[in-house]
Structure 1
Amino acid sequence: MSEDMLAQKSEAAAWFRQLRDEIVAAFEALEDSPVQGPLADTDAGRFEVNETTRASDDGSDAGGGLMSVIRGGRVFEKVGVNVSTVYGALGVRAQAAMAARKGLPGMADDPRFWASGISLVAHMQNPHVPAVHMNTRMFWTPHGWWFGGGSDLNPCIEYDEDTAHFHDTQKEHLDPHGLAHYPRLKEWADSYFYIPHRGRARGVGGIFMDDYCTGDWAADFALTQDIGRAFLPAYVPLVERRKDQAWDEADKDAQLIHRGLYAEYNLVYDRGTKFGLETGHDANAVLMSLPPLAKWV
């Protein structure tokens, strides 16, 4: 591995950790803000932070990260913000999946990998506040490197102005990299976050990319950073707008049913969930995205 790539991997891992710290601080500030309604007298939530590890077959160091979770907050019913850097050798199934998706037939000869990224999912107390998902990541093998990630909004009660703000903010951050990026990544998200067995999307979309590599590491990393930078200004104003809005049991019921879609998607289709479990990463961290409560009709 070249010295340049070693430096680039270090820079990417440091950025994902920095973004994690910014999001954790912003979410705790939301928890500290005044809240109206049934949880007004509840203590503000704080992130519980635990180290995570990746299990290797031979017991050698395989990396890990931090899992940060609020459960039962005034604003967040459950939110997890994970950051990790893991490495080692891909197992046989992961090698086959990587070779098929990326056209890398040499994976069996040299299955080393390195991956770093941030992933978050927020499930909210107030049904009018949309749930949200975001992740950005870098992946390396001796056969190539690439980036991935994005964010998507998952309201159970939809508001056109919230959807517009979320998408407009992402477009503003992507346009400096080229006007073709936003429509392409929006279409990618619409396709990726679709639930075939339900015949519908799990939310109102966002942006998404996977296996992204133009050959210009600096440019691709800059795009990935702006996907991450877009998240807080795209999402926090929606929380501030809706967190005190009155809701009833019918609204809560709609929220729990909608969460069923999220659970189904993540357990059946999500590529990140499958990769995390197949490569031995901490199962609690991988499944952090699941909602605390859900229901099916």
Structure 2
Amino acid sequence: MTELFDDQKMRAAAWFRALRDEIVAAFEALEEAQATGPFRDAPAGRFEVSETRRTSEDGADAGGGLMSVMRGGRVFEKVGVNVSTVFGKLNPRAQSAMMARKDMPGMADDPRFWASGISLVAHMQNPHTPAVHLNTRMFWTPHGWWFGGGTDLNPCRPYDADTEAFHGVLKVHCDRHDLSHYPRFKAWADEYFFVPHRGRARGVGGIFFDDHNTGDWEADFAFTQDVGRAFLPAFVPLVERRRDTAWTDEDRAAQLVHRGLYAEYNLLYDRGTKFGLETGHDPAAVLMSMPPLASWP
């Protein structure tokens, strides 16, 4: 059984890395594409890649990953695509940050864990081009395993056509596995990506799932892969459609305020941010999602 789990862990970690490579290449291709907007004469953006390391509370190696960040491009003002594989023991604070799994039986006696995933947040130059988030992950303990993640669109200037197209791609990929997935995970995203103190959603939604374990690892892994595969066909056409739309100072001001909302959510409510900080992962990688500039009314 241990060997089986080791193989599954390796396959999951390899998949997240492959997805990272595909997305990084696609985003750099967007930067290279011919543009007519205000940043057409700027150098095409390139990702800066650095290794991240995690150490346990006693100073031992506990995994790490790659942080890939592009700043000041023609299309992306800031985008990060991170992958990591970390392991060790969960302290009580980290178990609490897990929220839904904090009371898993057995963790008090054997708090070992292993986790791998990809995390992406893109903040765009053009206020008419929506910001976006993607995350998929696998989590393992001696007491159980599960997958989680999702993706959501965060425009400051929403377009109904963009929202419909984004959700349409997600639905197609979800429906390949279970016709109940899209409506259930869309509703979960609407609840999860809500900003309580503002009384509003942070964007136009997407899908979100956690603690996903049907008992069939292969099926659950296949679904998680399809969530990742849906991302580029859901998002890239929106970028190509909006990247050269003319904008005003008013649009830019609205974009910065919307980014403030995004920052509030990630710092106060996002489960991944809390878990990353509580488990001692590289703070620069955990806080990669923060926008380059933001403002508050």
Range of TM-score over shorter length: over 0.9
Moved more, 95-104 or 26-35: 95-104
8 Å CA contact 2:148–2:209 kept in 1: the answer is yes
Q: Partners in 1 of 2:133 and 2:92 — Cα distance? A: 29
Letter matched to residue 71 of structure 1: R
Q: Which runs of 5+ in 1 are unaligned?
A: none
Structure 2 CA distance for partners of 1:100 and 1:83, relative to 1, 3 Å: closer
Counterpart in 2 of 1:128?
A: 128
Residues paired across the two proteins, number: 297
8 Å CA contact 2:267–2:273 kept in 1: the answer is yes
Structure 2 CA distance for partners of 1:100 and 1:293, relative to 1, 3 Å: closer
Q: Partners in 2 of 1:89 and 1:213 — Cα distance? A: 21
SS at match of 2:149: strand
8 Å CA contact 1:35–1:75 kept in 2: the answer is no
Q: Partners in 1 of 2:65 and 2:79 — Cα distance? A: 17
Q: Which deviations, in whole Å up to 9, do the C-alpha atoms of 1:119-162 show, x marking residues without a partner?
A: 00000000000000001000000110000001000000010000
Counterpart in 1 of 2:85?
A: 85
SS at match of 1:58: coil
TM-score w.r.t. structure 1 length? Answer: 0.98
8 Å CA contact 1:99–1:107 kept in 2: the answer is no
Q: Partners in 2 of 1:252 and 1:100 — Cα distance? A: 38
* Alignment partner of 1:169 is 2:169: yes
Counterpart in 1 of 2:7?
A: 7
Letter matched to residue 10 of structure 1: M
8 Å CA contact 1:134–1:149 kept in 2: the answer is yes
Counterpart in 1 of 2:231?
A: 231
Deviation at 1:105, TM superposition (A): 3.2
Q: Partners in 2 of 1:138 and 1:78 — Cα distance? A: 26
Q: Which runs of 5+ in 2 are unaligned?
A: none
Deviation at 1:102, TM superposition (A): 5.1
Please show how residues 119-268 of structure 1 align to structure 2 within 5 Å: 119-268=119-268
Deviation at 1:92, TM superposition (A): 2.1
Deviation at 1:61, TM superposition (A): 1.6
Percent identity, aligned pairs only? 75
8 Å CA contact 2:170–2:207 kept in 1: the answer is yes
Deviation at 1:101, TM superposition (A): 3.3
Q: Which deviations, in whole Å up to 9, do the C-alpha atoms of 1:183-237 show, x marking residues without a partner?
A: 0010010000000000000000000101111111001000100000000000000
Letter matched to residue 34 of structure 2: P
Counterpart in 2 of 1:74?
A: 74
| RMSD (Å) for aligned C-alpha atoms | 1.1
Structure 2 CA distance for partners of 1:273 and 1:247, relative to 1, 3 Å: same
Deviation at 1:98, TM superposition (A): 4.6
Counterpart in 2 of 1:19?
A: 19
Q: Partners in 1 of 2:219 and 2:192 — Cα distance? A: 24
